[in-house]
Structure 1
Amino acid sequence: MAEDSGTSMIWSRGMKFPNDKSILTAKRRQLLREGRYENKEHDALLRLARPEDRVLELGAGIGFISTALSRKVGVAAITVYEANPTLIPYIKTVHELNGVTDARVENAVLTDGPETTADFYVRRDFVASSLDYTSGGRIVETVAVPAHNVNDVLQTLKPTLLICDIEGGEASLLPAADLGSLRVAIIELHPKTIGPAGIGAIFDAMSRAGLIYDPDTSRGKVVAFVRP
């Protein structure tokens, strides 16, 4: 749908997003208007998510997925982890504009260790920002963000649905996590960053948790796993 110039909003798949050009690049605005932004993840969650699900989302981006889960599925609870502090106000605005009241947003990262903070490298385009100093282009800011132990979080939340897009961090985090509470996992892989070994480690972690690959829902780098 076209942008509503009177309110500086972009409508996408029945949801509205502030036309903030410091967050939304021209390409991202086009994808939103055409209904193609995060379309693989969006379609997967509509197919697999249920109203009774407790959702843990790692890497919230602009709040697109959490908004869709709340508005279109009406899941029981959503906890969102986003490490990039520059995105937090935008995500909260998106939630407010779309009437999302069941999502808790944490500006923090999950790790498999005891550390309480981690260095997060902010780059000009937020999708390139990550915990990895060596890849993703020029760093514009280094921010110390709170770090929460992944298994402590999983034990507390007991999520049934995991959505993960953390720019390569999935290869080390997910194999260290106790994923036994999950019914569904939807993961965006980053093959150029994690390589064959990282992809194999993720599939092995899902198998240990009793989840199997769902070829009917998976598309390209977005892979889904379900409990049979």
Structure 2
Amino acid sequence: MASMLQTIKERLRKGLKVKTVTIDGIRVVSDTAFVTKEIRNALYKERYEDEELSLVAEAIGQGDRVLEIGAGIGLISMACAKRCGAENLLSYEANPSLEAVIRKNHALNGLYPELRTRAVSVQAGETKFYFNDNIFSSSLYDRDFGGEAVVQCDAFADVITAFNPTAMVIDVEGAEVDLIPAVDLGGVDKIIIELHPHIVGQDKIDALIAYFHAEGLETRGQIRRSYYFARG
């Protein structure tokens, strides 16, 4: 991770031109010095996080206050910021190697939501972060990648209390089954979340969906593994 981060910082420091692609009016870096070939190809085919983009377009608008957990390269961040205003978006990304890419994408779009390069966990402090060469699949959930690091994390409940979101966008590669039930969702009206039965098992995903419904958040949309839950 350190080598890619150094490459990104050096390219940005020198002001070297990088390739970009525009999706739904959002410019993002597509240069393979910054993203993997898999991500680049998905960007050009407009398949990268296309499920979340569609659900964000349906769900997020003016008046929403959005907490994003798992910013990736910042594409969904920009989609949310365009709809609710950058000042009403707080993004978390646990992978430190992605910070420079996210901030570059913020600059490309002239939108600067608050970004915290920390994890969100049940408890504050430190937690293990698991990764492999495909840094975009890294997770707090141990997927036997063979690599791990220790990252700082904020407690989910504390983040919700301090930021008071009305909507959340979550992609945490399996950690959702532990994270979501640990907090009070009473003030949250909308949740867009990617679920990962292939990582945690279908039983845990079914239990999480049932938990959302019990909390008054009904299923309003689903595109493959991405869901939109809302009240009322």
**TM bracket, shorter-chain basis:** 0.7 to 0.9
Match of 2:114 in 1: 104
Distance 1:201 1:109, change over 3 A: farther
Match of 1:219 in 2: 223
Could you list the structure 1 runs, at least 4 aligned residues long, displaced by more than 3 angstroms after superposition. 72-76
TM-score by length of 2: 0.86
How far apart are 1:128 and its partner, in Å?
Answer: 2.3
Match of 2:133 in 1: 124
Segment drifting more, 122-131 vs 47-56: 122-131
1:32 to 31, 43, 51: 43
> What are the superposed Cα offsets for residues 18-71 of structure 1, whole Å, 9 maximum, x if unpaired?
233144222321221232221111011111111110101111110000111122
% same residue: 31
Give distance in 2, aligned partners of 1:87 and 1:136.
21
Give distance in 2, aligned partners of 1:34 and 1:54.
30
1:166 to 165, 172, 175: 172
Aligned length: 217
> Aligned pair 1:176/2:182, yes or no?
yes
Match of 2:7 in 1: none
Cα RMSD for the two superposed structures: 2.0
Match of 1:55 in 2: 66
Q: Which runs of 5 or more structure 2 residues have no equivalent in the other structure?
A: 1-16
> What are the superposed Cα offsets for residues 159-198 of structure 1, whole Å, 9 maximum, x if unpaired?
1111111000001110112111111101101111111232
> Aligned pair 1:157/2:150, yes or no?
no
Distance 1:167 1:22, change over 3 A: farther
Match of 1:78 in 2: 89
Q: Which runs of 5 or more structure 1 residues have no equivalent in the other structure?
A: 1-5
How far apart are 1:7 and its partner, in Å?
Answer: 4.8
TM-score by length of 1: 0.87
1:62-73 counterparts in 2 under 5 A? Answer: 62-73=73-84
Match of 2:210 in 1: 204
Match of 1:92 in 2: 103
Alignment-mate amino acid for residue 51 of structure 1: Q
> What are the superposed Cα offsets for residues 51-104 of structure 1, whole Å, 9 maximum, x if unpaired?
110101111110000111122554651111110000011101100111112x11
Give distance in 2, aligned partners of 1:92 and 1:125.
20
Give distance in 1, aligned partners of 2:48 and 2:160.
28
Give distance in 2, aligned partners of 1:151 and 1:143.
23
How far apart are 1:199 and its partner, in Å?
Answer: 0.8
Alignment-mate amino acid for residue 16 of structure 1: R
